[in-house]
Structure 1
Amino acid sequence: MTASQSGETTRAGESRPLWAGIAGILAGALMIAGHVLTWRTPDTQDDDAIREIVTFYSKDSNQALSVTSALLLLAAGLAFLCFLPVLVRAAGRRSTFALAGGIVFVVLLMISAIAGNAYGITASNVDVFRVVPETALIAILLLEVAYGGLIAAMVGAAVLLLAIWRTTRGTEDIKVLPSWLTWAALVVGVLCLAGPFSAWLTSMLLALWLVAAGLVVMLKRA
């Protein structure tokens, strides 16, 4: 191998953690932005939910918000897939569990993003679709499906995070992520299992963990 080829190989090796780290940061940041926009949708548990949904989705700005939220969460899922190999490597011999959990998480996250914003996207792009009390029931159903998908997605995230933590507590000498970050993975992973009560919160904690993990990987030298 010539000196120039060796230099190119070295630079390529150094760029891999950089781009992987950027993908992790983007995944977390886009998840935060997408979920913050989703929080603005009306509460389907209210007695006056139908009227609130009709009022909310009748505004063009809120229809655009649905489109934006869906795009942000879908982009977050794609960025997460680019960062997933790093997390799988951090799980060592439990990489199968980490890979399965990560795939389940990203697939269900995307399904949740589409379902939760489908009503607003349809109202924004289909002229014959009317935002009226009769169709508002569809929005309630879709929002409930979206939250159910998010709950299931957090179970997948829990499997991924707990696989990473368990590996670093074993005999393997895993140095992909620092110890403090793997302990944080344990905390977030356990909280993710309480999804039926707090999926809206644990998804944000996971996003913050991804940002921290991305920063660590990005700053790490090959």
Structure 2
Amino acid sequence: MELLTLESLKTAARNFCSELSVTQIHNLYGVTDGKAVGTYVESTFNQYLSSRYEYTLGSAALGIDFPRLEVDLKVTSIKQPQSSCPFRNASQKVYGLGYNLLIFAYEKIDDHSSLTANLKCQNVVFVTKERTGDYQTTYGIKEIIRRNGNKDDVIAFLEERNFPLDEIGREALAARILQSPPEIGYLTISNALQWRLQYSRVIQVSTAGTTTGIENLLV
């Protein structure tokens, strides 16, 4: 069986979502729980992949869905495209999550005559790990550097944005930022016990197709 690669994962995601968009699903009729819909899509996608490719299936211990490819799958409603992910460290808002994202954004439509649900995939977006930082944070850092800001300016910026770091942590991150400035990230990442990731901007950017590291696989 063929080994799953990044390119074949993208192709499979595109083809799977095209098929999913025309499938009537009895089990999801009337279901409003986004987590239940996401679990169904993830499980069905893994069945689709496992019949075609050889790959290592992710687990809670590994943390992401496709560990060898460094890709995590996120399934979300287009009405409110967001999800959560484990908090590892505060620098993820600056340098990204540490892995690539594959985002399925669907619109769920219930057919009351057939008692089935349809999941229309509106967007299938691949985001490289370098682009998974927080937009406002990375944009603000770029502006500070562009204006010849120093370490104190970066520390003050991190304080203003309530970074979950102590004083020593802020100083260390500020020094790293000046030495190795981040790429602009395109997620909105909110502080919580887990990161809350919001995808509206990255979906919009992916549709334009002009930003390196962000692809809409349906365009």
Q: Please, what TM-score do these two structures have when normalized by structure 2?
A: 0.31
From the two aligned structures, give the one with the greater strand fraction. Answer: 2
Bigger proportion of residues as helix:
1
TM-score, with length taken from structure 1: 0.30
Tell me which of the two structures has the higher relative contact order, counting C-alpha pairs closer than 8 angstroms and 6 or more residues apart.
1
